[in-house]
Amino acid sequence: MLLDDDPARAFMPYPAVEVPGAARGPLAGLTFAVKDLFDVAGYPTGGGSPALLARSGIKTRTAPAVRRLLDAGARFVGKTHTDEFAFSMTGKNAHFGTPVNGGAPDRIPGGSSSGSASA
């Protein structure tokens, strides 16, 4: 993660790796996070599963959808939690934890994109 802190526990605890993108473009000055289902060069892709993460390895290519954001000038800040194999409506992950619901901290964040929503 390339942010100073993560109070929502939305991000995977991967080492920070700068992912190059365009210096200018229509999205310059904006940041984005990527659900841990999409490949980003320099990062593993775990899909919420420690078994998948163990086999992933560090990716050398970035998913086309992510690359388009980078090429438009947006800055990547990290990969977000997903429940295991993106297969739940709760957003809970027994292996990596559950992100905080920013609108209702006493409730689940909901869905497999819980980390993205919390970020």
Summarised one tens digit per residue, pLDDT across range 24-66 is 999 999 999 999 999 999 999 999 999 999 999 999 999 999 9
Residues 6+ apart with CB under 8 A from 60: 41
Q: What is the pLDDT of residue 73?
A: 97
Report pLDDT digits (tens) over 71-108: 999 999 999 999 999 998 899 999 999 999 999 999 99
Question: Residue 84 has what DSSP assignment?
Answer: G
The CA-based dihedral angle spanning residues 96, 100, 101, 102, taken in that order and rounded to the nearest 10 degrees: -140
Residue 1 has pLDDT above 90, yes or no: no
Read off the pLDDT of residues 2-11 as tens digits, 9 standing for 90 and up: 889 999 999 9
Q: Where are the alpha helices (DSSP H) in 30-111?
A: 50-56, 64-71
pLDDT at 88: 87
| Domain range annotation of the chain | 31-118
Q: Is the pLDDT of residue 110 over 90?
A: no
